Structure 1
């Protein structure tokens, strides 16, 4: 049973909405700089944290309610409003609409600020703090603002959360639980403690590009030194292909694979990545030879990029075009899988591939990298990888409409 994607809502460092995201993808402006949102200050005498921060989301909630919503929740509501309209969900019975939010520990920065603000006056903690920092608060705000009455839940898989949420939505549709399922790759909002921990483990980079943030994010380039965080959020609507008009279909989810490799931390595993791709290809009834485009997980970490290239070799993907959306948006952590599927769909619609910023000296020049200039290319079958800490490897096969 093919699953159709019928709506996209998105926000990134270039702004909120598909026009801003399209501009970011194909014009590839330099969105990187020092992270300045309160609670992301680097330790004294250390380089600042670099990355991408987005503008404030448009107002969806009434002002009184908006004041009690986290930044992540307001970004999610903005993407949901956009996707709701595009997919025409007002025509679907509310009890036949589901919601899956991809991500965990989504409001760490704001929770840390609250702990700091009330540390010496705990008796004055606002009652709303009992629920507003829970990931499920995004479910509650979304279902209160929109007619979603089927089910609502969150799923967590670190940086693969968005992709796992998409897989969960396809399972709900195939089981007949709902007729439309909204997937939100929620904006994960790390604070200074989280960013310093990621830097300490060697995952987050940029110390030797501290004076030139725009050059620091370099997926698959020999001069990479780690990922850069990027604020982003995206929403998709998934429906059974037979339930919608062909003209409403933006792309088709043909297959998916998810594998646990048995590791705890950030150790990538090529064998698991290959297995996830093979499962997705088998479900789609395709082989690697049918894949003409790969949207890499491609974070810019030395171990991650090298392992992913090994996966490409093992699968025989030397013929496919490959690019890295994180070179433009930064790494949105939990939201990455949904943001990057949105990018795949927009590239399908445009018949061209977005640039990979700063890809000047590829780690392996024998692959079909899309460099800083972008490329014209009609995507028929795309392979989208997403990997997460904790040994989570996922692969999605997306077909053109």
Structure 2
């Protein structure tokens, strides 16, 4: 089987419009969480989110294309273009895959359509409504825009969607099914109906996201996209490409227990599977980008899972404290954050940290990034429905 590396990455999030701004914000511990502008949150119990700021689709797409794409697809298209430009890879269309993760699809379009139906009593709608709301819109757009004719599909496994997408793309490249892949996730959940649904769950914080702290009150929703370019190590070396990281392992499990309550056993099994798949010993992991949602149940359960796998747990942080919980895109943004630690020898912090919680007795890099040279990292994604996905990366070389 072939070794697989990352040669390009594109990110658009509340932390900025590209990968450099994303990483700069993480390194500085600068949060992108603030008042939600897309929706009037007056009737809601919360008003903060992590939105992409000042996004103008007409700067990235021609007017016709911009009008035909939901915001979630637009974000993915921007991230894919950045990733391909960085990689410098000349695609072989039939030997390239596109695998994207998305949790909820085109909610902006869907919400507006229902508003027109029930509030304005309209009976005629945009004929492209269905293509704009389908969860696979980004995979289809990326494949068509870049002329990719190999496998193209979308994984929808709630908050593990992007990690599942990257993991499956990794296995496809490693096994020789394809010679390259664009993989990641995207999400744009800021619509009134979606926010009402999250409000009903009582898991959204009224102020900000404080993972692993004793006074944490819940998650903060975010939007964005991240796409990675995967290719075999041999081809990357042959063309002199800059290698960001090697993706070496992927593990996935199902809790088969509760629809929303996480399981330490299932999460631990996924981490062990990723280590085994990557041929890594627990002691080789120097950093974990945690799922770290900031909810009381998740953070304590994830801590228990990490301690079950590691006799001496590595340092851990949750970058959701800065870019929010981007649902189907989370695993991709966090994979990008984890592997950039190799580029800068710097581990991103958990910001908004106040006081430690005895149930979360880990070194969570509170508030300030930490200089450290690590050889391998994990990126954890644990989703509603009990679906767990863990990615393992190691330093290129």
Would you say same fold, with TM above 0.5?
A: yes
Q: Is the 8 A contact 2:306 2:313 kept in 1?
A: no
Q: Secondary structure at the match of 2:5?
A: strand
- One of 190, 194, 218 as aligned partner of 2:210: 218
Worse-matched range after superposition: 18-27 or 228-237:
18-27
Partner of 2:49: 51
Listed one character per residue, the Cα deviations across residues 314-348 of structure 1 (whole Å, up to 9, x for unaligned) are: 11254411111101111111000000011112221
Q: Is the 8 A contact 1:5 1:252 kept in 2?
A: yes
Listed one character per residue, the Cα deviations across residues 39-58 of structure 1 (whole Å, up to 9, x for unaligned) are: x33363x4333111112155
Go from structure 1 to structure 2 and tell me whether the alpha carbon gap of 1:6 and 1:286 turns closer, same or farther (over 3 Å shift): same
- d(CA) in 1 for partners of 2:51, 2:222: 6
- d(CA) in 1 for partners of 2:46, 2:352: 20
Say whether residues 1:153 and 2:148 are aligned partners.
no
Partner of 1:177: 177
Q: Is the 8 A contact 1:188 1:333 kept in 2?
A: no
Partner of 1:4: 5
Task: Please list, as runs of the form range in 1=range in 2, the aligned pairs for 1:17-96 lying within 5 A after superposition.
Answer: 17-37=18-38, 40-42=39-41, 44=43, 46-55=44-53, 56-57=55-56, 59-89=59-89, 91-96=90-95
- d(CA) in 1 for partners of 2:15, 2:285: 30
Report the Cα offset of residue 143 of structure 1: 2.2
Listed one character per residue, the Cα deviations across residues 189-212 of structure 1 (whole Å, up to 9, x for unaligned) are: 242232232232232222xx3xxx
Partner of 1:397: 392
Listed one character per residue, the Cα deviations across residues 203-228 of structure 1 (whole Å, up to 9, x for unaligned) are: 2222xx3xxxxxx2100111101100
Q: Is the 8 A contact 2:287 2:376 kept in 1?
A: yes
Partner of 1:305: 299
- One of 340, 351, 373 as aligned partner of 2:368: 373
User: With structure 2 as the length reference, what TM-score do the two structures score?
Assistant: 0.93
Say whether residues 1:289 and 2:287 are aligned partners.
no
Task: Please list, as runs of the form range in 1=range in 2, the aligned pairs for 1:126-145 lying within 5 A after superposition.
Answer: 126-145=126-145
**Which ranges of structure 1 fall in alignment gaps of 5 or more residues?**
210-215
Partner of 2:104: 105
- d(CA) in 2 for partners of 1:165, 1:65: 25
Q: Is the 8 A contact 1:292 1:382 kept in 2?
A: yes
Report the Cα offset of residue 140 of structure 1: 2.6
Q: Is the 8 A contact 1:188 1:335 kept in 2?
A: no
User: With structure 1 as the length reference, what TM-score do the two structures score?
Assistant: 0.92
- d(CA) in 2 for partners of 1:283, 1:30: 34
- Let me know the Cα RMSD of the aligned residues: 1.8
Listed one character per residue, the Cα deviations across residues 90-130 of structure 1 (whole Å, up to 9, x for unaligned) are: x2211111101101322223311122124455442121113
Listed one character per residue, the Cα deviations across residues 331-381 of structure 1 (whole Å, up to 9, x for unaligned) are: 111000000011112221000112211122122475222111221111211
Q: Is the 8 A contact 1:57 1:78 kept in 2?
A: no
Worse-matched range after superposition: 3-12 or 169-178:
169-178
- d(CA) in 2 for partners of 1:11, 1:77: 10
Worse-matched range after superposition: 347-356 or 25-34:
25-34
Q: Deviating runs (4+, > 6 A) in structure 1?
A: none
Q: Is the 8 A contact 2:189 2:222 kept in 1?
A: no
What number of residue pairs does the alignment pair up? 389
Listed one character per residue, the Cα deviations across residues 259-309 of structure 1 (whole Å, up to 9, x for unaligned) are: 011134211000011111111111222221221111100010000001011
Q: Secondary structure at the match of 2:217?
A: coil
Q: Is the 8 A contact 2:28 2:369 kept in 1?
A: no
- d(CA) in 1 for partners of 2:374, 2:187: 28
Q: Is the 8 A contact 2:95 2:179 kept in 1?
A: yes
Q: Secondary structure at the match of 1:292?
A: strand
- d(CA) in 2 for partners of 1:82, 1:363: 39
Partner of 1:212: none
Q: Is the 8 A contact 1:106 1:190 kept in 2?
A: no
Listed one character per residue, the Cα deviations across residues 37-78 of structure 1 (whole Å, up to 9, x for unaligned) are: 0xx33363x433311111215533211221121111111111
Say whether residues 1:168 and 2:163 are aligned partners.
no
